[in-house]
Every structure is written in structure tokens, then in C-alpha cells.
Structure 1
Amino acid sequence: MSEEEIDFFSSSSTVMISSFFIEKRNKVIKNDEVSPVLATEAKNFVINTRQVICQFLYVKFLLYDYIISQDFQEAERKRALSEANQVPEPQRHGKDSSFNNKSTTNNSNNSSSSLFNSISSNAISASNLRPLFVPAILREKFASLAERNTDRNIETCGVLCGKMSNNQFTVTVVVLPKQSGTSDSCLTSHEEELFEVLEKHDVITLGWIHTHPSQSAFLSSVDLHTHFSYQSMLPESIAIVYAPRYQQYQSFSITPPGLAVLGECKQTGFHYHAKEPPLEMVSPHVQMDATLGLTTVDLRL
């Protein structure tokens, strides 16, 4: 599906949803006295309509991400052929070091699985992942934003956004959507606000970050399935886990075997996955850069 087809689909769907909403609203206000039943029906309709629009916008955004990813991969293949299969050293931002440095050594929706399976089958291998640069200041800023929840043993999550230039990605914005959490989970809401931020800053999603207030840094089964949707669309997407109690801060990616396993897994909630083959790995393509700035957008306020 091309960008033009997505835009046409978007416009057509928006018109249909809007027309249906107006018709339903007119049906309600034609009554001089709105009965409790009718009022409840109208309220539920508004809620359901918002959810449908949010889901539609999310799918549209994922499709845009997928198109961008495929275009970049095709450009990379052509470049490699033109250079007689000689792969140059990746470009880097000034002074940088490995993201997974010594300071960290203290040790979804299955209805879309057919789409995700077809996309993940095209995921490039770890050795060919394009560099992704993360501002060193992210750890400090996210820890500060999550501090209130961390003190109450509640998880906090955020979305990593950024840009692509010279065949490498850079995280420039971290967005904290409206959310509710527990000691081992975090659920976001009002996703439409996130899309407004992405459009305003002209960025794409590059992954996500969340805390483990009382546990070590790892990806739970729920985390794995959450990140599966990110990485299936953009192979370089990352999941960062910050575990303040153990002073761990780690970036994870799903392994190629993990993508296959998760694509076939139909379970939801916390559940067991075999340890072999490993489903996750420390992201090999991530670099921390102390020279990069970072914009924080806290939609919880």
C-alpha cells in the first residue's frame, strides 16, 4: 500500500466515521427529552467511536513506518550492490560510546499476527541493523519523570521518537502518554494525543522505555509482545528498561528466532516462554551519545 493509498483510505474512513457519528447524534437530539437509555447509548457510542478512531490512526501510523522502513531497506540494498558488496563503517555522531556500558552491568494484538508475520519475515539481521543513537541524558530525564511513580512501586512508560538521516536513527523526543500502572504493568490511554505530538515534532516512533521499580532489567512476556509490534514494523526499534533498585539501564531487541516465536504465540497477559532459543538480546546497534539533546513531552499533566 502506497502513501497515496493510505491517505485516500484515511480520508474515506474519516468521512464515513464522521457521517455515522452525525447521523447518530441527530437521532439523539431529535428527542425533546433524552431518556436515560438514549443518553447512555449516546455516551457509549462516543466512547466506542473514539476507540475506533484511535485504532485506525495507530494502524495508519504503523503503515507509514513500514513504508519508510521498506524504502530505507531498498535504498540500502541498492547502495550495497553499487559498492560491490563492500559495507562502509556506520556514520556516528561526534563522540559516542556503547549504550550498554559498564554502568548497566549490575545485573499484541494477535488479530494482526498475519500482517506482523509477513513484515517480520523481512526483518534484517542484527549485523545489518542501522545505527540508532540515544541521548545519554535520557536516563536522567526519564528517571526524574518516573520518580513519583517509582517511589510508590508503580511502573512508568514512555515512547521514544526521533528522526532518520544518513541511514541512521536518532532519538530526539520522549513522550509520556496518559497512563495507569501497577508494580508490574503500565497501560496507556488517549493515544490520539501521541499522534499530535509526532506530527508537531515531525518524528517517527523508534521504540519505548519503561521502568521496573522493584525488579531487574529484562523483558517480561507482556513486554516482549508489546515490543514485537514495534520491531516488526521497524527492525531497529528498541525497548529500554530502567530498573532503579538495581541501577540497571538496558536496551533490548527481539532476536530473529524470537520474532518467529512471538508471531505464532496466541497467549495474552503474563505467560511462559521457553528460554531456548533466547527471545531477547541486548540491542547491538544502539549507541549512547552525550552530545545529543532531548525533548520531553509529558502528556500525563
Structure 2
Amino acid sequence: MVVASLGRPELVEQMVRLMEAQSAPPELLLFSVTGASDLPAERPCGERIRILEGPKGLCAQRNAALAFLRGEYDIIVFYDDDFVPGPDSVAHIRHFFAEHPDVAGATGHVLADGINTAGIDLPEALAVLADHQKVDFHPNCIVTSLQGLYGCNMAYRTSAIGENRFDERLKLYGWQEDVDFASSLRERGRIVKTFAFCGVHQGVKHGRTPGVRLGYSQMINPAYLAHKGTMSLSFAVRLMLRNLVANHMKALRPEPWVDRLGRVRGNWIGICDLVRGRLTPERIERL
């Protein structure tokens, strides 16, 4: 289990508790951080916990974890630090991959997602999961094939990953890094969605990429990935247009938790770079 985290020590502590509560805990819980400031005052410890410190950036932090693991485990699960998995998720992930040998990567069922709202606090997330447990809906089946997985909760067969790594040109939050990485593995197995395991994505707002940087990534990253071949051109164009229109329309009455004007500014900086033929996702570090 790999969790990359930056500047949110309370979520590191929360994830430790959530993994301890799993019906079948992961063999290893690996936190990839940039330093002590990313960790709670009482540093997580235990036989099944490891902490790596390295360069900042979601892709770089996940790659550090992959280098550390060196293919030692059959399945690697990536959770965002603000993802709250169902209490049987780890057990269900193991069962799902055992029953579907043709699958290279899978994303579970997100019961609620706070990414486009003010966010979901932990008590609410746990209540959603408790309601889902009453229904007991965990069919061990493939729902659909996907171009990419949802980065807040995605699991991969280690043998499919091989020497593949996350693209570190996608700096900081690494927007669309999940699609890029999953797409690069499609020749090694199916990339799918399943209801076998689930959770709630809280969408915690602090520690996220500022508006201008995200706005820039919304234009540059899809174009860069389309040029790489890990995102179809049609999907990239739709993604860019959808975000461009949404940011401009909502800038008139922005949500309190979204820097829409910053995103609009970033969108246009990105468009100007595209017009000049510059595919430079790493530029967000200078914005």
C-alpha cells in the first residue's frame, strides 16, 4: 500500500488508523513524503509501516516507493492520503486480482467524492461506508474497461508495472498522471473499474495545487499526454475544453473552495504556450 503525502500530517495519521481497522491489513503501508513536516508529531511506526523521504511531487514520490518495493509484492495499491477505503477493501483487492488474472490495473468504486465540493469530513465518509456495508454490494466482477484509472484509489499487478514509472515531467500534483500511467500498461493487461472494493474520496482542500498552476496543467498536460500517445487526442481536447469552459463560467460566481480566477489565468498561460508549440508541463513549478 503506497500513500504519497505532502503537508497533511493529520491525514497520514488517519490512514494509519484506517489500515489498522482493515479486516485484512496490507502487508506493508508505505508513506512517501518529503520530510518530517509531512508527518504527525508521533511518527508512524510498526512492523508493517515504512516511511520514505525524497523529492516533492506526486509522480516522484510514487516512483520512490516503486524503487523501494522493487517488485517484492504481487499487488501495489496507491491511495490518496484523503481516501477512506471500505473496511474490507484490502481483502477484496486481493480476491479481485486472484480471480481476474488478465487485469493489470483496477480502480474501485468511489461511493462519494468531495473533490468537486467543499469536501467530505471523516465522520461523513465513515457514515457513507457504514451504509454501504449494510447493502453488502461487493460483486467481484469487472464493470468496464478504462483508458486510465482514478488516482485516489488504484491497484496494479506488480508484474504488469515492471520497469514502468510515473512521468516526473508531470510536476507537483501531477494532474492526469493516473491516466498516463495506466494507459502505459494497457498492452500488459486490462485496465478496469470494479465494484469489488470501494471507498470515499474526501477531497481535502489544503495542500492542493494553487489555481494558476492547476489551470496551466489543465491545458498543457492533456496536450502533452496526447503527444506521448497515452491519451487519445479526442479525449484530451474534450478534457481541455470542458475545464476551460467551466472555469470561465464559474469565475463569475466562484465556489469558496476553488480559485477559479487563478485557474482561468493558468488556462490562458497554457494556451499561449500551446500556440507557441511548447509542451512544458514542468513549467508549473515556476508559476
TM-score (normalizing by structure 1): 0.27
**Larger Cα-atom Rg:** 1
TM-score (normalizing by structure 2): 0.28
The answer to which structure, 1 or 2, has the higher relative contact order (CA under 8 A, 6+ apart) is 1
